[in-house]
A and B are shown apart, each in its own frame.
Chain A
Amino acid sequence: MTITELMPFSVLVPLIASLVCALLPGRFWPWAVTLAAAIASAIIAALTLPAAAQTTLSYAFGNWPPPIGIEYRVDAANAFVALLVAGMAAITLPWAKKSVDKEVPERQGTFYALFLLALAGLLGITLSGDAFNIFVFLEISSLATYGLIAYGSDRRALLASFRYLIMGTVGATFLLIGIGFLYVMTGTLNLHDLSERLPEVRDTSTVRAALAFIIVGMGLKLAMLPLHLWLPNAYTYAPSFVTVFLAGTATKVALYVMLRFVFTVFAPDWSFVVLPLSTVLMILGVAGMFAGSWVAMFQPNIKRMLAYSSVAQVGYMVLGVSLVSVVGLTAAFLHLFNHALMKAALFMAVGTVIYQVGSARIEQFRGLGRTMPWTLTAFALAGLSIIGVPLTAGFISKWYLIQAALDQGQWVLVALILITSLMAIIYIWRVIEAAWFKQREPDQQAVGEAPLTLLIPTWVLVALNFYFGIDTRLTVGGATAAAEALLSGGLLP
């Protein structure tokens, strides 16, 4: 079996395992099957990345040759994102066991089946080379996500899920309209084939409208600033494990789809000229960085604070894209990877606190630095990464972002990036202040350190934050290859 034949299994394994999972009773086996499927997926994705970085892998489903059949077409860009998604699932699942047992005591078979569907959907989006297939996988992962969010114990989880369903469906339908317009103009749905046939017809209002629809649709899914309204509630009220996984993967995959369309399908020398994309994305990115960080500073609920911080981090990625250069795109891909690491570590630390204390409100963090030193130290160290302190992964991505801005002489952007990093210090500091410099109130319950099954996965992610801050061969190498793969389609404007 060659790597090309193996690669589709990273989608098929979770898809089939979800069926098995839905039928399993009890609490242990659904989780065990999910973990095994996620690890298998991650291993396949890890094997795919080096092969895809050398040549583009293409697998034709059912042996129907593309562009007629559905093709999985994997280059450095999707292999990088697929490794991130499958890897995050495999790393966070060991943590999930205890947290999910507490927050979702019943019907865990269905819960893990939905999780596997979401995972299969996200991986399908990244690997597929067929536009309509991407839409179907997007809806598979979204529908599973709505179900997962509704599992939250607070009744507001239902509202958050419903609102996400409305906005997410509108976003996905916009993508469908865009794909429809492209199909009408070219008669093909294969992304590679589209990129070859589009240049002949692209100076028509239909194709321009398609570009606009796809950008707005994916902007919704990716929580780009004015379209981010679904995200804070969804992240706040979902079960902790769902938040950890979504924060690490869902918005990243949406960003990937947007980049795939803007850069590969419509060449950047067209898409960035016909629409003022560079300006629009830059303004929205910077606005997202500021608004997200600003609102995060005043949130009494730490999960919601981190959710707004995610809106800000998406801003950094969008800003990297808006610079339309290899370094800028590299920064976007780097931040996509590093942000998944740091935000998952932060949400896991907060989830551990919720496991012990039962709430993520800032008052509940008082004095925890002494009674739960390992959990809160993990939070503080992952916080350093989100601020962008040297030797952490967050520093590397901000470094590349600043370099990309400097290459174009955009001094203002550099200042803005530094200011928003200072705002990150403030919101992370609030937690540290409560945890170490305030006493626990007498009426608050005293808690001890969390169990090791929660601490070890959290610390693995914290360690990865520092590892990828020092040894950047995998991340920078992968991100550069991904950026070059996307830009190979067309010349820069």
Chain B
Amino acid sequence: MTKILGISAFYHDSAAALIINGEIISAAQEERFSRIKHDSKYPHNAIEFVLKNSNLKLSEIDHIVFFEKPFLKFERLLETYLAFAPKGFKSFSMSMPIWLREKLFQKKFLFDQLKRHDQNFNDIEKINFSEHHYSHAASAFYPSPFKDAVIITLDGVGEWATTTVAIGKDNKIDMLKEIYFPHSIGLLYSAFTYYLGFKVNSGEYKVMGLAPYGEPKYKDTILKKLIDLKDDGSFRLNMKYFNYATGLTMTNKNFSNLFDHKAREPEKELLTQFHMDIAASIQSVTEEIVLKLTKSIAQETKIKNLCMAGGVALNCVANGKILKNNIFENLWLQPASGDAGGSLGAALAFWYHELGEKRSIPSPLDDMKGSYLGPSFKDEHIEKTLVSLGAKFQKYDEEKLINFVVEELKNEKTIGWFQGRMEFGPRALGARSIIADPRSNKMQKELNLKVKFRESFRPFAPSILREDLNDWFDINTDTPYMLLVADVKKNIQIPMNEEDKKLFGIKKLNIKRSSIPAVTHVDYSARIQTVHKETNPKYYKLLKKFKDITGCPILVNTSFNVRGEPIVCSIEDSFRCFMGTNLDILVCENFILFKEEQDKKLLKNYKNQFEKD
């Protein structure tokens, strides 16, 4: 039995993953335990979890793999500073002390931290380093259901690479092409995220959600001035407009002058039609880059399968377009596409690449186990915890619970749904979710403002039974990780009249656009999760029952958290969030809690508890 621990840390989204003989056993992000969104610290809690979950001590682990190479990163930093000198001295003087004190000595630092888990761990040579984009590529290809595939990784930056194209065949990954820093599609998107007043590395989803409210008026300007995009999808950015290579901001004065507006001040300035048009423009440019890149690679390699990872692979609108344009026959996306997934990729890369182990043909779905790789809790633990928290609860058997939840969903109740192992990756997939009735007219606004305390423009995603997918949406592919966007079927769309069409921006939100308005975005699109009985049988049963009673096989599924808060992990987290929001019901496994029955003294002012993202 070969046990490999993968670690990603120190930049954003620290995480740990454990594989045993190549099988993915568990994985979790540190933020879920520390309750600090995108926590970048050494993932002590996540490592503790993956070890305990398999009853292992650290000294029993055979190999430990860090997801990137610090020396290579340091080389990039030094060369970038030299290339831009004397510009960037401030950033240089801030980053060098951290590097010279800590980051350069990462092996020793990791060793010291790892020893805290188990004093008997004393072999520093067990620590290995993978490359950032190789880790992403490994996380995208090895768990996929394909024997061979093109692998594309797109993100901000790792060591040098920002975009890579590789070919995966059996247990081998061969890198074909790379684009190097500072030319990066991820950083281009993040620059616009910053310019629109959202947080870099976390607000990118908001830009994507905002885009359908605008018109891509600035697309030509971006393509003419900011980026030199070639027909094969390769590109160079015009660094005259960006400040991220050496500065402390993403964009500079030239960038603001180009669009005739200063960068939006977060929380102070309101979002206007200009911001929506900018969001639409950068989204459209991103889609064009991704489509050009995938088209040229498909033609060049003649391979029918595509795997993707890296932060940009979470851009589900662009992913949907790859599928719609039939560029590849099959598409598989790593659910933990961000840096957290690098921990899993690093471990898998070591197993197949360094140890040369054979790869058996994966199961038809994939090897991710539905991405349910985090902690779960037994009934005794839940009961004890709820009692200690002073909660009032009842315990139902599964059938009664499901019947009851369906009735309450029909009554337009919002429900915290806490079941089984926590998801790995940024999406809630029915294990730590807030669920509601998608047919309700008021649900989108109510969930955004009263439950999630977030911006009213943000859309909600549907979970749907896999077998019913094609009856409701314009797509017929498994999308278990909510990483593809497709349109709601024409027959359930409600066409806009002439007056509705004239509406601009956020006003579009008030029009009912389909028979499932809570999950239909203003452009009739939806970010879909297909639910499969093999990976989440309880959630599947709930959807099936909801369909039997209402005829609708769909539920609203949003992550169980509020704005700025990591998704809940434990029973305590879920009870705290339940008592701090306007959620009506909380379901933890077979335990059910009603808001009106709880002690009023336990209600919390939760809205400003977390730093806004």
Tell whether A and B belong to one assembly.
no
B-to-A contact residues, CB < 8 Å: none
